[in-house]
Structure formats: structure tokens, C-alpha cells
Structure 1
Amino acid sequence: MLRSLYWRIFASFWLAIVVVLVAFAWITTSKFENEKIPGLDITRLQAKMDDLLVRTSRELRHDGLDEARQWLCSAPDFSAISVYIVAADGSELLGRTPPPRVHEAAAAILAQMAAGERSWTPPAEGERLRARALRTRDGNAYAAVAILEGSFFSRLFLRRPSPFWTNLGLAMVVSALFAALLAWYVAAPLTRIRDSTRRFAGGDLGARVGQLRFGRSAEVVALAVEFDTMAERIKALIDSHRLLVRDVSHELRSPLARLRVALELAREGDARQVQAALDRIEHESDRLEAMLAQALELSRLETTPRTARDHVALDELLGDVITNADYEGAPRGRKVVLADCERLPTVGSYSALYSAFENVIRNALAYTADGSTVSVRLQRDAGGYAVVRVRDHGPGVPEAELARIFEPFYRTDAARLRSSGGTGLGLAIARSAIERHGGRIAARNADGGGLEVSIRLPLEQVPARRSATA
């Protein structure tokens, strides 16, 4: 397909160049025949015919009939201009049959010469015909007539001097080479993009166009960059889903194994063992349901485009999350407070941001010490971003693992996560939601112990009418 594209591009460029050459020939021919020389009131064509008649007169007067005849036969190609020399008896010097207009002009001049007139005005003279009276040294009278013959189209293509065709041939060859080079310049990067597309469609997720050496027009380079960006994004999504499926499959094994053990105990044990086994089955079922729900939420965040444009008041959203989290931590003496807060609006998905903050605060509540407080702060930084800091008073995280706690199912202490009821997906969901809003999330070990998670979100201006209503 692209080979035919190459030939179509080549033909288009070459035909365009040929049209330009023809148009140039058309314009030059038309200007030559019709444009008048400034100050002389004659066209360039008429000046050319006058020059030919002067040269013919000089050859006939000084060199005689034989030399004049030889000059007319061997003279340079006059293109569409023909020069006739007509004697008093009506014969033409080279034995040709003159056109009627030439014959009439020559007869008028010869008649005026025979009458002894000293000026001759041939009735047929005009833009396409020029005539001159000639008399040789031996006194013989002749009429020299130059005429532009043929139609405009025949003069444009057929009645051309030989150098014209030589130059035109060279121009056609050069233009064909130029068109071939230009077609290759355009088609080569498209071929490379097509090959990369086919490889990617065939399963090679690492296929990329890369840097183009040829055909580096802005549009083609932009197309290649867009393809590489798309391919990188698709590869990241596919890799993420593969990892998610692998991790979910791995994580499901433990609760499923415990469910089978509980089921066997329920079948073979006494009433007390049956009740304990049923409680275990219920607990593991709830855990499986929570894990699958969070896995689906993470997949949805990574695959669906950001379409929601809710006007979100971050202080109010955090207030709702903190109220619910504080209620859940009350049985163990764990509190969640909004220590510092500004009224900061943003635009995005309310549900996604709620889920992100809820997962971060729930994670802090799960690891903070009994009787301690999780503090949440909402402030605007110098760059105009909203910064949310969630600080717990738990054991913290090893420095080498701070960046990895936002990966799906990554655990620094599997036993503690199991005891806290976590699935290892909460912080991954928070990171995905925050990054989809153009923000960043990071964690560090706070001074004095505990973990501090910082969330940085861009602020967008809420319309004035809505703010006034608020």
C-alpha cells in the first residue's frame, strides 16, 4: 500500500512540476508574442521578425541570391517564424509555396516598387506579419516577408527551437529526480510508522518509531511521537493489568486456602468449632470481597479517562472523610483530626478524590498506635498547589521501601497488614487517583516516629458565580 503511496506522491509532485514548466512556457510565449517593448510601440515578436528581415536583406544585397538562399537553409531555427523571399515573377527563393497572406503582402510590395514608390505599406502587415522591400545590386526587386505561423498551441509545443526541447528534457529529468527524492522523503517515515504499528499490533509491545532520520517534517515527527506515546501508555496499562492479575491471583490463594481449612473444620468439628469456622469463612469472604472491589476500582482508575469536572471543596471533602475515619477508630482510642485547614477548591472527580483521601487516612488509622491521633493538614504552598499531609504515630516504613508502598499488593510487613485487615491496594488506588488529577503523592518517615504522606494537587479556579453562591 505504501509502495503505491510512494508512486502516487511521486506522480503528484512530478505532474505538478510539469504543469509549472508548461505554465512557464505558456507565459513566456504569450509575453513574447504580445508584450510591447517600452518606447518602441512594437512587440518583442515584431522586433524579432524585423531583425530577421534586416539580416535577410543584408545577405541578399551583399552576398547575392546563392548566399541568401544558403543562409535561409542553414540559418538557426526561427521557431514559428518563417521568412519568405518572393521575386517579381511570384516565385519564392527556396521554391516554397507561401501562405496566401504572405503572397498578398509580397504582391502589394512588388506592385508598389514597380510603380516607383519609395515607401511601402503592405496591407496585410500586422502583429503576426512583417514585410520589407529588397533590391539587389543588379536592380532586381524582391519582397521579404516574415510571418508567425501555426496556432498558439502548436507554437507552444510543436514549433519550438531545438534548444528548447533539450532544456525541457533536462528539466524533466531533474524534476523527476527531485520528485522521486521528495516522495521518498515523505513515504519513508510513513513506512517506518506503519511497520511499528504492525509489530505493535502483532504483540510486540516494545515496538516504537523512535527518532526519525529522514522525513523529519513537524507533522510526521508529531505523528511518530504520538504513536510512541500511545504505545508506551498501552504497554504500561497492559503490564499493569498483567501484574494486577498476577498479584490478585497470588493474594487470593491464602484466603482461599483458609476458607478450605475452615470448611473442613466446619464439616468435622463440634458445634463450637463449626461456629469458629463459620466466623472464619465470613471473615475471609469479607476480605475477598474487599480485595476484589479495590482491585476493580484500581483497574477502573487506570483505564477510564478523566471525564468528571466536579467543583470540589477539599476542606469539606476531608471533613467528611475524617468524620467517618474518626468514628471507626474510636473503639481503640485512635482519633483523626483536621489540625490545619484552608478553604481550597479544585476541579475533578469527587468520588476519585474521596477514595484517595479515604484510603490514605484509613491506612494511617490502621497503623497509628492505640490512643494516638492521626493529624491531617490542608494548606496552599508557594506554587499555588493544595498540599494535604496525613501524619500517623505508627512504626513507620524502612527508607528503602517508602516509594514502593504505593505499588499494588506491596507489603512491608505481611503479618501486620493481615492483622489490620488491609489488602495492599489502598495506597495504590490513592496514587492512581491523585496522579490522574495531575498531582503527586509521596511518603516519608516523620520526625519523632510515624509516617507522613503528602499529597500535592493543582488548584483550578472555580467560576465566580458559583463562588458567590457559596
Structure 2
Amino acid sequence: MTIRMRMILSHILVCVLPIIMTLFVLASSLAGLILYAKAGNHVMPESDYQFDTITRALSMDIFHTMRHGGDPQDFQWLVDIVDPVQTYVILTRDGEVIYGYGNEALRGDIIRMRLGIRDNIGIDKSNSIFSLTENGNYDYMERQLIRGHEYDLYVAARQPVGRNDNAIEKAFQEANKFVGICLVIFILGTSWFLSRFLIRRIVNPLKELKRGSEEIQEGNLDIHLHYDRFDEFTPVMVAFNLMSEKLKESLEEREKDEEKRKELIASISHDIRTPLTSIRAYVEGLLDNVADTPERRKKYLLVIQKKADVLERMIEQLMLLTKMDVGEKVLPQESINLSHLTKEIIDENKISWEKSGAEFETFLEDNVPIKGSHLLLERIMENLVTNSLKYKTEEKVKIFVTVRKEKGRAIFNLADDGPGVPEEALGRLLEAFYRTDKARSRTENGSGLGLAIVNRAASLMHGEIKVENRKPHGLSFTISYPLEGDHDKENTDR
């Protein structure tokens, strides 16, 4: 049950409680009067006010019973409370007595009352009431027309001598104490019930949330709040658990990024220091006249130029990687036929690549439209081909390039028949400056950023890259791009 429903039920209960308490007081009073009468105690009028109160109660109950077709026995319980010695009650219908109670010695008083007021009360459809109080004698008469019959109620009473209502007053005092105690118990019980019914459903989840917050504050991100109810706190608990999981993932990712950053800085420092050391050594050789012939000086200068080219390529790659981190605002994307662009890139660089030992075998499906960047796609192609050439173990390396459509995606695959990499290295191959111990240990011709650029460029074009070893040997890169229509849909969904 939701907290909202519990609050609604609590408000309903609060509205109903006064009615229940009123009924309880009435029932308690009625029960007290009945027990008082059965114990042999009776009510007797000691004043005009008490007589008026007694007659009103008798009139209301008796005529109500008659209007609903009841029997005199139905109101007998109330009449029994009246003192039968000092009171006489008669009920007539059309002049005939149908009920009598009390001291018949007072019957003459009622006859005289009837004779005295006969001319004053006519038979009509309205109620007629006569009440007389004189010298300690009390007389009451009321007439009502009910379903065509004339009902007359007569009550005659005498003020008691030497008797009083101390007993009933004491009984009422005891009854009031009982009712008061019951009401206090009732209110306390209701408050306890409502607190358990409503407040506990709010306080306990708040305590659980507080406990979880304190655990997170102390660094325990494995905290998981268990909440088996379905109410307004359910989404809060789910959100809290999701938050703790995301915080843990974020912290772990931050630690990994920090570790990678340290590795990156160390790798950059190492890769920049290597060519700088060579440049410095050859410059010192020139300054010390170690290269004492024009041929040796030219050789030294060519080495310096080669090492400077390595530094320049590394800086360019770092700048491109930084530029790609800014995203699509710096590198806008457009409609591209992946097959045609791949063919253009191969044709433009085929002579230099073949001169370096590459042999190409291509399968390019005619029309494979994607949203992408010419610059990024050129860098992907260049870096992958350069990677295959750099780590070939034979004089020639065969490079297989495939572009096709598959299951609503554009598939670009570049594979070679080179040495491949150890299986344990596949997962980190796309990290900046990462190199394996064997097949990828030669770095004099590269910056160590090529495959990291490939990975980032593919991600910017919403591509997914997969690296696998080929059988019997070789390395395969597969990049899956959304087709142009699906690309727009992905951007809309994001």
C-alpha cells in the first residue's frame, strides 16, 4: 500500500473517529442506564427541569416506537428507569389504554388531568402537549396522530419526600470516569495505531536512506539498500542504488583514467626523449667535429632530420587526438559513400604503400552511405595501413580491405597477413602508446598513437571497432558504422 493511500485512510479514520467516540459515549450511557435500572435503582423528578427531561425522553422513544409499528415492549427498557412509586405512565390509542406503568394510585390524577384539559386540546393533525407543575406535583400529556390513530401519553409524578437521586448521581459519576478512561485509552490506542500505520512507513525508509548516505560518506560504494515495498520510496531507493553503482563505476573509471594518464605521460616522455637524445648526440657530434667529412656531416644531418620528422609526426598525432576529444563541432560530418572514399584513399596512396611492401586485395560494395568526416576516415585508413606495414615480418604484407552492408550497418574491415599480436594484448591494443613485448616493440617509425586515433575517430562517427587475430596469422580491424538513415535516428534517440 502506498504512503498516499495510507494518508487518505488516516484522514478518513480521523474524520470517522469523532462519530465512533460519540456512539461509544451514547452506548456507554445507555448501557449504564440499563444496568442502573436492573440493579433496582430508578430516576425520580426532584425539579421541573428533571421532570421535563424525563418526559421528553419518554415521549421521544414511545412515539418513535409507535410510528414504526413497534410494540410497547420495545420501549419498556426506558420506562423501567422511571421510579414506579412516584410516577405513573399511561399510553392510550383512540381513548383505550394500551400500556400502563407505575403507581396506579396516581391514576386519579391522570383522569382529572384528562378532564381538565379535554376542552383545551382538540383532535387535529398537529402535536398537542400539556405540562403542569404545581406544589410538587408534575403532570404531562402529549397527543399525536399516527397512521390515523390518536395516541395520548400521560405522565403523572410526585416529588419524593425523604428520598433523593444520590445513587444515580454517583452512578453517573462512575460512568463518566469509565467513559473518560475509555476515551483516553481509545485516543492513545488510535495514536499508536496511526503512528505504526503511517509514520513508521515514512521514518524507516528515511533511516535506511540515512544509513546508505553515511556508508557512501565513509567511502563504501558497495552499499545496496534493500526495500521490498512498492510505494513512493521505491523509486527513491532504486535511484539511490543506481547512484551508488554509478559512483562506484565513475570512481573505478577515474582510477583507470588516472592510471592511463600516468602511463600516457610516461610513454610521451619516453617517446619524445628517444629522438631528442639521438638529435642531441648527433648535434654534439657535429659541434665536436666528429663528422669531419662532408659525407659524415650529411649522414648526421639526415639522421637529425629523420628524428625531427618522428617528433613532428608525434606532435601532429597528439594534436589530432586532442582535436578529436573536442568532438563533432570541430570535425563536422557529412554524407559519404564509404566504398567510394575508401577506393579514393587507396588509389591516392597506393604507389607509396606498395613501395613500402603492401599488396592490396579489395571488395567494395557499390553504395554504402554513412555520416562521417573525410579527415577522420583518411586517418583511420592511413593509420591501419601504416600499422600493417610497420609490423610486417616479411618483405611484403598482404592487406585485405572490405566494405559492405550488413544488418543495417556499414561494415569496414581491414586485415593483413602479418604476425598478429598475443591474445592478451588485443584488449589494450587501441590504447595510446601501448605496445606488446614482441610483435609491436619496434617504434622508430611511429608515434604510438595511431591505433588510439583510429579508435577515437571511429567513436566520433558512432562506429564500433573490433580487433581480432586472423588464422593462421595476421590482424583484423572491423569497424561498424550506422548507415546514413540509421545514423540520424541514433542521434535523435540520444
Coarse TM-score class (shorter-chain normalised):
0.5 to 0.7
Structure-1 residue corresponding to 2:302: 279
| CA drift at 1:403 | 5.3
Structure-2 residue corresponding to 1:288: 311
Taking the aligned partners of 1:109 and 1:18, their CA distance within structure 2 comes to 54
- TM-score normalised by length of structure 2: 0.59
- TM-score normalised by length of structure 1: 0.62
Residue correspondence of structure 1 range 44-443 to structure 2 within 5 A: 49=26, 52=29, 56=33, 59=36, 63-64=40-41, 87-90=46-49, 111=132, 114-118=138-142, 161-171=183-193, 174=196, 179-196=202-219, 209-214=221-226, 217-269=237-289, 270=292, 272=294, 273-298=296-321, 310-332=334-356, 334-336=358-360, 338-347=362-371, 351-367=375-391, 374-381=399-406, 383-397=407-421, 405-409=429-433, 410-411=435-436, 412-413=438-439, 416-418=442-444, 421-434=445-458, 437-443=462-468
* Distance of aligned partners of 1:163 and 1:438 in 2 relative to their CA distance in 1, 3 Å threshold: farther
Please say if residues 412 and 479 of structure 2, whose CA atoms lie closer than 8 Å, have aligned partners that are also in contact: yes
3-state SS of the aligned residue for 1:87?
coil
* Distance of aligned partners of 1:371 and 1:250 in 2 relative to their CA distance in 1, 3 Å threshold: closer
3-state SS of the aligned residue for 1:278?
helix
Please say if residues 341 and 378 of structure 1, whose CA atoms lie closer than 8 Å, have aligned partners that are also in contact: yes
Structure-2 residue corresponding to 1:200: none
* Distance of aligned partners of 1:21 and 1:400 in 2 relative to their CA distance in 1, 3 Å threshold: closer
3-state SS of the aligned residue for 2:209?
helix
Structure-2 residue corresponding to 1:24: 13
Partner amino acid for 1:190?
Answer: S
Partner amino acid for 1:87?
Answer: E
| CA drift at 1:291 | 1.6
Please say if residues 371 and 487 of structure 2, whose CA atoms lie closer than 8 Å, have aligned partners that are also in contact: no
Please say if residues 325 and 362 of structure 1, whose CA atoms lie closer than 8 Å, have aligned partners that are also in contact: no
* Distance of aligned partners of 1:329 and 1:289 in 2 relative to their CA distance in 1, 3 Å threshold: same
Counting aligned pairs with the same residue, the percent is 17
Summarize deviations over 1:36-61 as a string: whole Å, max 9, x none. Answer: xxxxxxxx69xx74884685377358
Partner amino acid for 2:276?
Answer: L
Please say if residues 212 and 221 of structure 1, whose CA atoms lie closer than 8 Å, have aligned partners that are also in contact: yes
| CA drift at 1:320 | 3.5
Please say if residues 138 and 156 of structure 2, whose CA atoms lie closer than 8 Å, have aligned partners that are also in contact: no
Please say if residues 337 and 369 of structure 2, whose CA atoms lie closer than 8 Å, have aligned partners that are also in contact: yes
Unaligned runs of 5+ in 2: 61-128, 145-154, 169-179, 229-236, 489-494
* Distance of aligned partners of 1:372 and 1:161 in 2 relative to their CA distance in 1, 3 Å threshold: closer
Summarize deviations over 1:316-337 as a string: whole Å, max 9, x none. Answer: 3322332333143254564545
Structure-2 residue corresponding to 1:41: none
Partner amino acid for 2:272?
Answer: L
| CA drift at 1:461 | 4.7
Taking the aligned partners of 1:254 and 1:376, their CA distance within structure 2 comes to 34
Taking the aligned partners of 1:64 and 1:343, their CA distance within structure 2 comes to 111
3-state SS of the aligned residue for 2:485?
coil
| CA drift at 1:245 | 0.8
Taking the aligned partners of 1:229 and 1:61, their CA distance within structure 2 comes to 80
Structure-2 residue corresponding to 1:75: none
State the Cα RMSD in Å.
4.9
* Distance of aligned partners of 1:50 and 1:172 in 2 relative to their CA distance in 1, 3 Å threshold: closer
Partner amino acid for 1:171?
Answer: F
Please say if residues 373 and 392 of structure 1, whose CA atoms lie closer than 8 Å, have aligned partners that are also in contact: yes
Summarize deviations over 1:53-83 as a string: whole Å, max 9, x none. Answer: 6853773586235xx6xxxxxxxxxxxxxxx
Taking the aligned partners of 1:252 and 1:378, their CA distance within structure 2 comes to 37
Unaligned runs of 5+ in 1: 1-12, 34-43, 69-84, 93-97, 121-132, 145-157, 197-207, 466-470
Q: Which has the larger radius of gyration?
A: 2
* Distance of aligned partners of 1:86 and 1:268 in 2 relative to their CA distance in 1, 3 Å threshold: farther
Summarize deviations over 1:336-366 as a string: whole Å, max 9, x none. Answer: 4533334223345554444323211222244
3-state SS of the aligned residue for 2:304?
helix
| CA drift at 1:276 | 3.0
Taking the aligned partners of 1:167 and 1:415, their CA distance within structure 2 comes to 81
| CA drift at 1:261 | 0.5
* Distance of aligned partners of 1:190 and 1:378 in 2 relative to their CA distance in 1, 3 Å threshold: same
| CA drift at 1:462 | 1.6
Structure-1 residue corresponding to 2:75: none
Structure-2 residue corresponding to 1:155: none
Structure-1 residue corresponding to 2:66: none
3-state SS of the aligned residue for 1:209?
coil
| CA drift at 1:176 | 5.6
Taking the aligned partners of 1:229 and 1:335, their CA distance within structure 2 comes to 45
* Distance of aligned partners of 1:117 and 1:372 in 2 relative to their CA distance in 1, 3 Å threshold: closer
Partner amino acid for 1:293?
Answer: E
| CA drift at 1:264 | 0.5
